[in-house]
Amino acid sequence: MAAAHKHKMILALFTLNLCYQICLSSKPNFIIMLMDDMGWGDLGVFGDPNKETPNLDTMAAQGMLFPDFYSANPLCSPSRAALMSGRLPIRNGFYTTNAHARNAYTPQVIMGGIPDEEILLPEILKKAGYRNKIIGKWHLGQQPQYHPLKHGFDEWFGAPNCHFGPYNNKKTPNIPVYRNAEMIGRYYQDFVIDRKTGESNLTQIYIQEALTFIESQVTDKTPFFLYWAVDATHGPVYASKQFLGKSRRGLYGDAVSELDYGVGKILNKLIQLGVDKNTFVFFSSDNGAATYDKGHGGSNGPFLCGKETTFEGGMREPSIAWWPGRILPGQVSHQLGSLMDLYTTLASLSGQQIPTDRVVDGVDLSKVLFGNYEINRPLFYYRGNELMAVRLGQYKAHFWTWTNSIEEFKRGTDFCPGQIIENVTTHNQVNQTAQPLLFHLGRDPGEKYIIKPGSSEYKENIGPILTAVEDHKKNLIPGEPQLNWCDDAVMNWSPPGCEKLNQCYTAPPSKPTKCVWNH
Amino acid sequence: MAAAHKHKMILALFTLNLCYQICLSSKPNFIIMLMDDMGWGDLGVFGDPNKETPNLDTMAAQGMLFPDFYSANPLCSPSRAALMSGRLPIRNGFYTTNAHARNAYTPQVIMGGIPDEEILLPEILKKAGYRNKIIGKWHLGQQPQYHPLKHGFDEWFGAPNCHFGPYNNKKTPNIPVYRNAEMIGRYYQDFVIDRKTGESNLTQIYIQEALTFIESQVTDKTPFFLYWAVDATHGPVYASKQFLGKSRRGLYGDAVSELDYGVGKILNKLIQLGVDKNTFVFFSSDNGAATYDKGHGGSNGPFLCGKETTFEGGMREPSIAWWPGRILPGQVSHQLGSLMDLYTTLASLSGQQIPTDRVVDGVDLSKVLFGNYEINRPLFYYRGNELMAVRLGQYKAHFWTWTNSIEEFKRGTDFCPGQIIENVTTHNQVNQTAQPLLFHLGRDPGEKYIIKPGSSEYKENIGPILTAVEDHKKNLIPGEPQLNWCDDAVMNWSPPGCEKLNQCYTAPPSKPTKCVWNH
C-alpha cells in the first residue's frame, strides 16, 4: 500500500514536471490592460460603493489582487513611458527641467518623444518571437519617429495623443487615429465623441480590435503581446449607447462599466480559445483618478488627492494579475509593485534578458505571482525632475510636498477636493528634506497623521528610507529631458497617410519655445 | 417528451413548495452581529487596502452585500435602541432636548433607559417560541429595570455600558459584567483590558459564549435569536494575545482580524451543526468609525466624516446578509436599508406581527433578501432631536449641517480629519432648510459636490425629499426624552449580584442634573 502510494506520488511529480516543461516550451501570451485616469477606488473589489465591475471582481477572484501597486508617475505620458521602458521617467527622459517638480506630458505640440536608446518591452519580446500590438493611446510622442511601429510594435490601432482636444476647432489639427503606420482618420471629425451626451463607440472598437487580434494570433500559433491602452475614463469621458445612463455613478460609471464589460469579453475569449492557461493578463491604470474633474472623474478610495500628485491618490493603481493554472485564485499580494515591473517580468517570462548596460527600475515579479513571495524594495514618487517621496515597507516619507500653486487653486483647479491636511497638501513647493514627513500607510492610508519626528517609530523607520534614497541617487544618471520644448510645427498637420484621406494640412514655420508646465 | 418535461416541472415545483412549507414550519434562527464603531471601509470587501477580513469577505461572497445600509443614528446607544425597537430614537426616547441636535448616549450616570412601552425585538420573538441571548454591550440603560432580561432576552453575557472608562480609578465604580440578571465581575478589575498593550481576551470569551449558546439551542431544538454585540473596535481597542501585532493596520486591525475570526467560527459552527440553511445571519455596525481617534480608529472608506455626524461616514454601515439556501450567493443589493429593518424582518420571518399601535420605522426586507427586490423608501438622519438630512434614492438633502463646535474642534476633537468641504463640514449648526444642500451619492459618495440649487437636477429631486419629510413629520410623536438627566447615584455602585462578589459600593445621595452633551 505504502509502496503503491509512493509510486503514484512519483508518477504525479513526473507528470507535473512534464507539464511544466511543456508549458515553458510554449511561450505565454501577455496582455496589459492599462486604463486611463481610472482610480484605485473605481473597482467593486477595491471598494467602490456602486459595485459595478463584476468582470474585474471575478478576474480578481480568479487571480491575484495587488492593493499596493503603483504607477511610476502621477501623469499619463511619463507613466506610460516608464511602463514601456522599465525605467523611471527621470532616466528615460520623460520629464522636464523647465521648472522644478513639474508634471509634463506629450500634447501634440511637444517636440520630444521616446528616445531610440530606450529598449522598449515590445522590442525585447520581438526577439523572443512575439507579435506585438498596441490598441489605444500611445502617448510617447506624436512625431512619426516616436510611433509604436518604430519601437517594437507590429500593429497599432489608436492615437498618439489624448482625445481631450482639439475638439474640431479648425485652428489646430484634430488628433489622428492610426492603423499601424498610417492614419485612418481623426478624432471628432471621423471618430466621434459626442461631448454633450458622452456617446462614443470607441471602447467597442477597442474591444473588437483586441478580440480579432487574439483570435488571429491563436490561429497563427504565434505568442502575442497585447497592450490594451483604452481611454474612456479620461476626460472627455465616453461610453457607447448601450452603456449610457446605466450606471449609478453617471457617465464616468458608464465608461467604467463598458471597460469592465470589455475585460470580461477578452478574458472569456481567451478561455473560449483555450489559451487562458497560457496567457498572463495584468490590469492596471496609468495614474490616479482626476479628482480635479469636479465630481465627474473617478475615485481614489481612501487615498489622498489624485492624478498629478505624489500622494497615494496620484499613483496607487487598481491592479489585478490573472493567469489560470499558474496564479492561484483568490490571492492578495501586498507586494510594493510598479508598472515598470511588468517590463522585467514579461521579459523574464518570455525567456529574454533585460538590458544590462543601464539601470532598469522594474523588478521581476515571477516569485510574487507564482509563490506569493514578497520582495523588499523601495518605491520612488517623482514629479518631473524631483524625487518627492519614497515608500519602503509600510512607511512613506515625503521629501517635498506640493498639490498645485495657490494661483491655479484659486482659478478652480483642485487636486485634492475636500481634503486639506496641514503641512501636507501644501500649495507651495515645500522642501521637507531636512525632516521628511513620515506616514504609516497601513494604519493611515490617507496620509493624515504625520508620525512625530521625535518618536522612536520615526527614528527607527526613517533611516532605511534615507539609505534607499542615497543608493538611488548614487546610480542616477538623468536622461536628456524630452518634455522641455514645444512647437506648433510638430503638431499632427500631415501625419503619414493623410494624403489618402485628403487630410494633410500645412504646418506653420517651426518656432520652438519652452513648454509651460503649470503643475 | 414535452409532456414528460412538463410533468417533471410540476413535480419540481411541488417539491419546492413542500420544502418551502417545511422550511417555514421550522422557524429560522437569527443572529445579528453588531460591531462597535466599525466603519464601512474596514472590511476587505468594502475596500480596506489591507484586505484582512477573509471570513467576512467569504460571508459576503456566500450571501448578499449591502453597500447602502445605515444605522438609525451616528451614536451607539440611540443606534442600538433603534435596532431593538424598530423605531427611530426620536420616537423611542433615545435622544436629548437639553440642547439642539446633540448626540446623547448612556454613560453610567444616565438616569433614563429603554422605556417599558417599547416592544423590543426579543419580546416579539419570545412570543414565537425563540430563546434570546445578548452577548456583549447592551447600552440601553444601566439601571436594573432597563436590563436585557427585563426586555425580552433570556440570557445575557456582557456589560450595560461601554468599556471606555472608568479605568479602575477607585472614585467611580468600574462597569459590571453580567451573566444574565447578576453581575459576575467588573471591567479592569476582573475583566482586564491592558490599556498599554491593548491586550484582552474578551473577544475570545464572546466567541465562545456564542458557540456554546448555538450548540445548546441546536441540541434543544429551540429556535434562537443571538444578538452578538461585541465591542473590540470601540476605544480602548483590544485584541487577544494571538492577534496582537499581526495586522498591517496596527491594534485596530488586530481587533478587526479577531472579530473576523469570530465571524468565521460562528458561521462554521452553524454549518458544522447543519443549521446554516435554517439560520439568518446579519452583520453590521452601530455607527461610523470614530475618525476623531487620531488615526487609531477605523475607516469609513470614501465617505465624509464619521461617528457623531450625519454625513455618510457617520451612519453608513458595512452590512452583509447570509443564509445559505435562502439568500443566493454573491449578490449586491443597493436597497436603502436601516438596522431598524432587522426588527421588522425578523418579526416577519418568525411569523409574528409588529406592533400596530405605533409607527415602526423598520421595513420588512424579505423581498429584498430572497428576491433582490428594491423598496423605495426614505432614510432619516437624526442628530438628537433634529432631522439633519434625508436620503431618497441616490439623492441626499442636508437640512442642517454640523460637525462639532469650533471650541471642541480647537480642543482637538476632529470628526472629519483631513476633510473640509465649504458650507458642508460646518463648525456651527447651520440651518440649511430654506435651501437644503443636495448631493448625488452615486457619483459623489463623499458629499463633496453640492448640486446647484438652480439646476434642473436640483429642482427635479428636491421635491420628493421634501414630501417625504412632510409625511414623516406629520406622523411624528416624539417619545419622552430619556437622555436628559444624569445622576451620580444611578451609577453601577451596587448592581444585582454585587453582594456575592463583595463588590457593593455605597452610592452618593441622588442629585439629578441635566446632562451636558457637547456634540
At residue A2, the pLDDT reads: 47
Q: What's the distance, Cα to Cα, between the start and end of chain A in Å?
A: 73
Could you list the beta-strand ranges (E) of B260-417: 279-285, 319-322, 331-332, 337-338, 379-383, 386-392, 395-398, 400-401
Interface test with B, best of A53, A66, A248 (most B CBs within 10 A): A248
CA of B449, closest CA in chain A: separation in Å? 6
Q: How far is CA B44 from CA A50, B256, B333, B349, in A?
A: 15, 11, 18, 30
> Is the confidence at residue A431, as pLDDT, over 50?
yes
Confidence of residue A170 (pLDDT cuts 50, 70, 90): confident
In tens, the pLDDT along B312-322 reads 999 999 999 99
A132-A134-A140 Cα angle (round to 5) = 115
CA distance linking residue B40 with residue B319, whole number of Å: 8
Q: A417: nearest CA in chain B?
A: B448
CA distance linking residue B265 with residue A57, whole number of Å: 26
CA distance linking residue B157 with residue B181, whole number of Å: 9
Query: Could you tell me if A61 and B57 are in contact, meaning their C-beta atoms sit under 8 angstroms apart?
Result: no
Q: What is the DSSP string of A380-401?
A: EEEETTEEEEEEETTEEEESEE
Which residues, 6+ apart, have CB-to-CB distance to B60 below 8 Å? B43, B45, B320
Query: Could you tell me if A201 and A208 are in contact, meaning their C-beta atoms sit under 8 angstroms apart?
Result: no
> Is the confidence at residue B12, as pLDDT, over 70?
no
Predicted ipTM beyond 0.90: yes
Confidence of residue A12 (pLDDT cuts 50, 70, 90): very low
At residue B23, the pLDDT reads: 46
> Is the confidence at residue A413, as pLDDT, over 50?
yes
In this structure, what C-alpha cell is assigned to residue B41? 471601509
At residue A52, the pLDDT reads: 98
Query: Could you tell me if A173 and A186 are in contact, meaning their C-beta atoms sit under 8 angstroms apart?
Result: yes
Give me the phi and psi of B353, to 5 degrees please.
Answer: -85, 150
Confidence of residue B7 (pLDDT cuts 50, 70, 90): low
CA of A49, closest CA in chain B: separation in Å? 6
At residue A162, the pLDDT reads: 96
Give me the phi and psi of A154, to 5 degrees please.
Answer: -95, -25
In tens, the pLDDT along A301-332 reads 999 999 999 999 999 999 999 999 999 999 99
Candidate list B19, B23, B139, B147, residue with the active-site label: B139
The owner of cell 491618490 is A313
At residue B170, the pLDDT reads: 86
Q: What is the DSSP string of B190-224?
A: TB---TTT-B--HHHHHHHHHHHHHHHHHHHT--E
At residue A5, the pLDDT reads: 52
Asked if A449 and B302 come within 8 Å (Cβ–Cβ), the reply is no
Peptide bond into A417 cis (omega under 30): no
Burial of A230 (0-12, 13-18, 19+ CB in 10 A): buried
CA distance linking residue B156 with residue B177, whole number of Å: 10
Q: What mean pLDDT is predicted for residues A504-510?
A: 97
> Is the confidence at residue A17, as pLDDT, over 90?
no
Summary mean pLDDT of chain A: 95
Element holding A224 (H helix, E strand)? strand A224-229
At residue A372, the pLDDT reads: 84
Element holding B514 (H helix, E strand)? strand B513-514
Eight-class DSSP state of B355: P
Chain A 433-452, CB below 8 Å of chain B: which residues? Answer: 440-446, 448-449
Pairing of strands B485-486, B513-514: antiparallel
User: Which residue from B47, B68, B440 is facing A301, i.e. has the nearest CB?
Assistant: B47
Percent over 90 (pLDDT), chain B? 94
Element holding B504 (H helix, E strand)? none
CA distance linking residue B116 with residue B393, whole number of Å: 35
Q: How far is CA B427 from CA A297, B116, B399, B515, in A?
A: 29, 37, 15, 22
Eight-class DSSP state of A187: B
Q: What mean pLDDT is predicted for residues A223-244?
A: 98
Could you list the beta-strand ranges (E) of B82-168: 131-137, 155-159
Among the residue ranges A195-209, A225-239, B5-19, the one predicted with the least confidence is B5-19
Q: What mean pLDDT is predicted for residues B91-103?
A: 98
Q: Classify the C-alpha dihedral A104-A105-A108-A112 as positive or negative.
A: positive
Interface test with A, best of B246, B443, B449, B455 (most A CBs within 10 A): B443
CA distance linking residue A460 with residue A462, whole number of Å: 6
Asked if B394 and A68 come within 8 Å (Cβ–Cβ), the reply is no
CA of B260, closest CA in chain A: separation in Å? 17
- CB distance from B249 to chain A under 8 Å? yes
Chain CA centroid to CA B84, Å: 9
Asked if A442 and B250 come within 8 Å (Cβ–Cβ), the reply is yes
CA distance linking residue A366 with residue A375, whole number of Å: 11
In tens, the pLDDT along B273-299 reads 999 999 999 999 999 999 999 989 999
In tens, the pLDDT along B64-90 reads 999 999 999 999 999 999 999 999 999
> Is the confidence at residue B333, as pLDDT, over 70?
yes
Give me the phi and psi of A123, to 5 degrees please.
Answer: -65, -40
Q: What mean pLDDT is predicted for residues A481-492?
A: 98
> Is the confidence at residue A516, as pLDDT, over 60?
yes
Q: What mean pLDDT is predicted for residues B26-43?
A: 97
Tell me which chain A residues have a C-beta less than 8 angstroms from the C-beta of B441.
49
Confidence of residue B5 (pLDDT cuts 50, 70, 90): low
At residue A224, the pLDDT reads: 98
> Is the confidence at residue B499, as pLDDT, over 70?
yes
Asked if B249 and A442 come within 8 Å (Cβ–Cβ), the reply is yes
In tens, the pLDDT along A71-130 reads 999 999 999 999 999 999 999 999 999 999 999 999 999 999 999 999 999 999 999 999
In this structure, what C-alpha cell is assigned to residue B121? 425585538
CA distance linking residue A387 with residue A101, whole number of Å: 8
Burial of A248 (0-12, 13-18, 19+ CB in 10 A): buried
- CB distance from B418 to chain A under 8 Å? yes
Tell me which chain A residues have a C-beta less than 8 angstroms from the C-beta of B49.
67-68, 301-302, 441, 445
- CB distance from B50 to chain A under 8 Å? yes
Q: How far is CA B278 from CA A3, B348, B449, in A?
A: 46, 15, 45
> Is the confidence at residue B145, as pLDDT, over 50?
yes
Strand partners, A284: A34
Q: Classify the C-alpha dihedral B46-A270-A121-A75 as positive or negative.
A: negative
Q: What is the rounded (10 degree) CA torsion for A30, A36, A39, A42?
A: -80
Query: Could you tell me if B64 and B333 are in contact, meaning their C-beta atoms sit under 8 angstroms apart?
Result: yes
In this structure, what C-alpha cell is assigned to residue B18? 413542500
At residue B372, the pLDDT reads: 83
Burial of B342 (0-12, 13-18, 19+ CB in 10 A): buried
Eight-class DSSP state of B150: G
Chain CA centroid to CA A467, Å: 28
In tens, the pLDDT along A132-153 reads 999 999 999 999 999 999 999 9
CA distance linking residue B72 with residue B303, whole number of Å: 17
CA distance linking residue A17 with residue A27, whole number of Å: 16
Confidence of residue B500 (pLDDT cuts 50, 70, 90): very high
Q: How far is CA B417 from CA A82, A163, B283, B403, in A?
A: 35, 37, 27, 11
At residue A496, the pLDDT reads: 98
- CB distance from B427 to chain A under 8 Å? no
AA letter at B75 = L
In tens, the pLDDT along B376-398 reads 999 999 999 999 999 999 999 99
At residue B475, the pLDDT reads: 86
CA distance linking residue B396 with residue B442, whole number of Å: 10
CA distance linking residue B427 with residue B404, whole number of Å: 5
Tell me which chain A residues have a C-beta less than 8 angstroms from the C-beta of B420.
418-420
Asked if B250 and A49 come within 8 Å (Cβ–Cβ), the reply is no
> Is the confidence at residue B184, as pLDDT, over 90?
yes
- Give catalytic residue positions of A: 76, 139
> Is the confidence at residue B8, as pLDDT, over 60?
no
Q: What mean pLDDT is predicted for residues B113-139?
A: 98
CA of A497, closest CA in chain B: separation in Å? 41
Q: What mean pLDDT is predicted for residues A172-200?
A: 97
